[in-house]
Structure 1
Amino acid sequence: MRWQVRGERTVYAGGWLDVTIADVRLPDGRQIDHHVIVYPYPAVGVVVTRPSDGAVLLLWRHRFTTDSWSWEVPAGRMEEGETPEQAGERETLEETGWRPGPLRSLITYHPFNGTARQTFHILRADEADYVGEPVDAYESDRIEWVPAADLARHIHEGRVNNGLSLTALLHHLAFPES
């Protein structure tokens, strides 16, 4: 069953997101107004592993929106004209001071497709070179190579509580050779 969009109007336009109301016809013929959050730029997250021991480069950071702390993969929105790989390298370097090695795509998904138009690209690098202090040092409280053996425990105990990082790290644990 496909919902038919008959039109869409913007009710809020901001730099990071827009809110629209879609005029939707349901399969049973009813018409509804459906709010949609539109993110104009896709986001990227990067799982960076260290070849010597499989540790993963993570940031420990506070998010004021949920007043919570979490381990996160380097991530951010793609700039206009960037490929996921270019954005992944830029974000990793800016946030951690490490330049990831060759990046490859793991998955692309829509994090909350019932209410938002947004795309997340998850990439992986199996090496990184330390370049220097991160440009965006305000992004995290600390940056660490977290042992692979600790990832599942951190997830289980709620220390990875954001969707992008959780998806990226669970994919990494489920498909370690991907």
Structure 2
Amino acid sequence: MEWETFGRRQVYGSPWVEVWLDDVEVPGVGRIDHHVVRYPKKSTTTVVTDDQGRFLLLYRHRFITGRWGWEVPAGWAEPGEDPAAAAAREVEEETGWRPGRVELLTEYDAMAGISNAHFHAYHATGCTQVSEPQDVSESTRVEWVPEADVVDLLVGGEVADGPSHAALSYYLGPHRLSRPRP
């Protein structure tokens, strides 16, 4: 069953987020106003690994949830910017490490029932440290974390950020399982 849209009106808008009320007909329910959160920019997350099996993570506080946790580098592609280039830029800005190679892992819709939040998750390798992190507001610390510890962080709820959780879990699961084994 497909919902029919009759119109929409914007309730709030900024360069970062928009809130809309869409006039829709839901089969079996009728016509309703449905809240929709739209993001004008493309979102990126990046799993960064090295040849020692470590993951580059940021430890930070999120004031909205009041939680501390580990995250992968993430950000927004500027209008017209290739998401892979944006991912590489964000890794360097947030960590001080410049990726040598950036490959798409997967794309996903984070909240398809209410939002157009569409993420591009990448895998970066071959990093070279070029500076300290450029944006000190992004994290309290940046660390290379062994894979076994990353799994423990995921299982222990210390990676609470949805995009980070999804990217790391995808990398450790389906990405790995879909690769030819030696």
Please report the TM-score for the alignment, with normalisation by the length of structure 2.
Answer: 0.94
For 2:119 and 2:61, locate their aligned partners in 1 and report how far apart those are by CA, in whole Å.
21
The residue that corresponds to 1:117 in the other structure is 116
3-state SS of paired residue (1:137): coil
The residue that corresponds to 1:17 in the other structure is 17
Give 1:126 shift: 2.2
Greater than 6 Å deviation, 4+ residue runs: none
The residue that corresponds to 2:38 in the other structure is 38
The residue that corresponds to 2:55 in the other structure is 56
For 1:6 and 1:31, locate their aligned partners in 2 and report how far apart those are by CA, in whole Å.
9
For 1:4 and 1:59, locate their aligned partners in 2 and report how far apart those are by CA, in whole Å.
42
Pairing of 1:5-154 with structure 2 (within 5 A): 5-28=5-28, 30-51=30-51, 53-154=52-153
Structure 2's unaligned 5+ residue stretches are none
For 2:114 and 2:81, locate their aligned partners in 1 and report how far apart those are by CA, in whole Å.
25
For 1:46 and 1:11, locate their aligned partners in 2 and report how far apart those are by CA, in whole Å.
32
3-state SS of paired residue (2:137): helix
After superposition, the C-alpha distances for 1:20-68 in whole angstroms (9 at most, x for unaligned) are 00000112361010000111011101111001x1100000000001010
Give 1:176 shift: 2.8
Distance change >3 Å, CA 172–CA 29, structure 1 → 2: closer
For 1:106 and 1:115, locate their aligned partners in 2 and report how far apart those are by CA, in whole Å.
24
3-state SS of paired residue (1:176): helix
- RMSD, matched Cα: 1.2
Stretch deviating more after TM superposition (64-73 or 25-34): 25-34
For 1:55 and 1:79, locate their aligned partners in 2 and report how far apart those are by CA, in whole Å.
29
3-state SS of paired residue (2:50): coil
Which AA in structure 1 matches 2:150?
Answer: L
Please report the TM-score for the alignment, with normalisation by the length of structure 1.
Answer: 0.96
Structure 1's unaligned 5+ residue stretches are none
1:41 touches 1:118 (CA, 8 Å); kept in 2?
A: no
Q: What is the number of residues matched between the two proteins?
A: 177
